[in-house]
Amino acid sequence: MPRRPPIASRPAGAVATGEPAGARLSAPLAARVLALACITAACAHRPRGAEPPRAWSYTVEDHGERWDVELCFADARPPALVAATAAAEVLIDPRDATTGAALDLTDGDAPRIDLAPMRGPCLTYGVDLTSAADGWPRRLPQLGDDRLVANELWLWHPPRIAEDAAITAEFRAREGERVSTPWTPLGDGRYALPEAAVRWGSYTAVGDLELHALEVAGGALEVVVLDGPRRLTSAGLRRWLEAAGEAAASLYGAFPRPHLQLLVVPVDGGDEPVIFGAVERGGASIFLLINGGAADDEFIGEWVAIHEILHTGMPFVARGDAWLAEGFVTYYTEVVRARTGLKTEEQAWQALFAGFRRGIHDVRGDATLSDASQAMGRLHAYSWVYWGGAAIALLSDVAIREASAGARSLDDGLRHLSRCCAQSSRRWTADEILAEIDAWRGDAGIAPLCREVLATSGFDELPALYRKLGVSVVDENLGVDDTAPLATLRRAIFAKVD
């Protein structure tokens, strides 16, 4: 399932605070970002049939331009293997490991390797990474002396996958090289793969990698900096990502994932320190494309890393419900930066007001926010959808705080969602997410409010809310009224955390 063309049509985890990430880039750089946007999520085919295998393993031998893979089943062998279309294009010579007999490939939109003739539990096949390089811009395998391999290229798998399947992979890198994956390390080059690994996209990085191990709010970050010229120092990198992780953790109560791979790719150009970001759902992973010319002090408090880390605390949201996936995260990107001192409350309100104005200017005729969210890519209605969703998040947060006399907030619902559901391998609809939050709260809660706002442009309720909160912006200057009915609640939204 391609994540991507055009840039801003990507599913949950894509960068935006109202404009597509490539809107301000030069043509060559925009093309490179667009290429990255076409990589990640390869969906598994899941037809019904016999009970699926419950355990299998991959062993990957790295030969530079080619990977050799052995796939072995510990129990029942499936009748066939499936993979993304791109995997068939780079597949080399699949064979039964026991007899050496060649296995047939059925090519097309749903490629399959027929395993019916096999006599043993294992098969072997190669992956031509030279062809993958020729296939760029769909993949980006070479970054200087490092390689970034889309895992969809080699993860052939059964058509049906049990959620509790025990899947492992062992990497045998060339001498002097290191490997980074988004999966749980088991030691000795072995990793435990979640079911999501074969349903959605992710990367394996290989080479003389620059690795940084960070511990942030109870989470372990494996930061991989790929080859490329940069001014950002190692110390600056750590300060930037530690601050971003702490900001996201201030919402969830802890870092949202126990282990996270964070891929940092420096490139030339860009108007901001971080040009592009995306969450990869085939494992716990974030991809950040950074401006190689940006200095250390430009990264502290920038929004993209925080935005993407916040996404990892939420389930993978259905494409048509971007108003929730991106809107809630866009709202909290501003809130947590103010709470952790990366910006002032005044700056946070100014950012929200500016974003809501961009959203209002993007509204099209009589269409509703729900309409825009369902057709966001076709309409290019990114500002409308992202900031309309952020408006719903603000309205919901205030409603929960007001109804509970300040005892609860939308924060609490998202903390519950992070604990219960963030690591689910399936896509969730907005209705399912709102129902989960409301069921946890024990009332009808925010779902009716969200439905009402979705049936409008998304911004109609904001003027009245501003008056109740006691906020206004005139000529870029924030005005506050501490006698407003909800002034105390307003201050609580951005209250600093220790």
Per-residue pLDDT tens digits of the chain, which is 498 residues long = 333 222 222 333 333 333 444 444 444 454 454 445 444 444 444 444 567 888 999 999 999 889 999 999 998 899 999 998 889 999 999 999 999 999 999 877 789 999 999 999 999 999 998 876 555 434 444 566 788 999 999 999 999 988 789 999 999 999 999 999 999 999 999 999 999 999 999 999 999 999 999 999 999 999 999 988 899 999 999 999 999 999 999 999 999 999 999 999 999 888 899 999 999 999 999 999 999 999 999 999 999 999 999 999 999 999 999 999 999 999 999 999 999 999 999 999 999 999 999 999 999 999 999 999 999 999 999 999 999 999 999 999 999 999 999 999 999 999 999 999 998 989 999 999 999 998 888 776 799 999 999 999 999 999 999 999 999 888 778 888 999 999 999 999 999 876
- Residue 178 domain-assigned? yes
d(CA 162, CA 164): 5
What single-letter DSSP state applies at residue 328?
Answer: H
d(CA 249, CA 246): 5
Q: Residue 244's closest CA among 312, 313, 324, 310?
A: 310
Predicted local confidence at residue 109, as pLDDT: 76
- Residue 18 domain-assigned? no
d(CA 275, CA 269): 9
Q: Does 400 share its domain with 466?
A: yes
Q: Provide the 3-class DSSP secondary structure of residue 334.
A: helix
Q: Does 293 share its domain with 339?
A: no
Round to the nearest angstrom and report the end-to-end CA distance of the chain: 41
Q: Residue 12's closest CA among 385, 248, 324?
A: 324
d(CA 428, CA 417): 11
Tell me the two tokens of residue 22.
């490539």
Q: Does 413 share its domain with 386?
A: yes
Q: Does 83 share its domain with 101?
A: yes
d(CA 247, CA 459): 27
Q: Does 239 share its domain with 295?
A: yes
- Residue 13 domain-assigned? no
Q: Does 299 share its domain with 370?
A: no
Q: Does 359 share its domain with 483?
A: yes
**Cβ partners under 8 Å of residue 463, min gap 6:** none
Predicted local confidence at residue 136, as pLDDT: 43
- Please report the beta strands in 32-151, taking only residues with DSSP state E, as ranges in sequence order: 55-62, 66-73, 80-82, 91-96, 105-106, 112-114, 122-128, 142-143, 146-150
- Residue 45 domain-assigned? no
d(CA 206, CA 321): 35
Q: Does 195 share its domain with 235?
A: no
d(CA 161, CA 26): 42
Tell me the two tokens of residue 296.
């250390």
Q: Does 131 share its domain with 60?
A: yes
What single-letter DSSP state applies at residue 197?
Answer: G
- Residue 107 domain-assigned? yes
Read out DSSP for 278-291? EEETTTTEEEEEEE
Q: Provide the 3-class DSSP secondary structure of residue 457.
A: coil
Read out DSSP for 28-66? HHHHHHHHHTTSS-PPPP----SPPP-EEEEEEEE-SSE
CATH number at residue 113: 2.60.40.3650
pTM for this predicted structure: 0.88
Q: Does 200 share its domain with 330?
A: no
Looking at 159, 183, 205, the residue that finishes a domain is 205
| Strand arrangement of the beta sheet that strand 112-114 belongs to | 80-82, 112-114, 105-106
Looking at 205, 224, 250, the residue that finishes a domain is 205
Identify whether the C-beta of residue 468 lies closer than 8 Å to the C-beta of residue 381: no
Q: Does 151 share its domain with 252?
A: no
Q: How many domains does the chain have?
A: 3
**Cβ partners under 8 Å of residue 241, min gap 6:** 214, 216, 221, 223, 262, 305
- Residue 43 domain-assigned? no
Predicted local confidence at residue 16, as pLDDT: 38
- Residue 126 domain-assigned? yes
* Residue position matching structure tokens 């942030």: 216
User: What's the domain range around 121?
Assistant: 55-205
- Residue 153 domain-assigned? yes
Looking at 268, 297, 314, the residue that finishes a domain is 314
Q: Does 171 share its domain with 267?
A: no
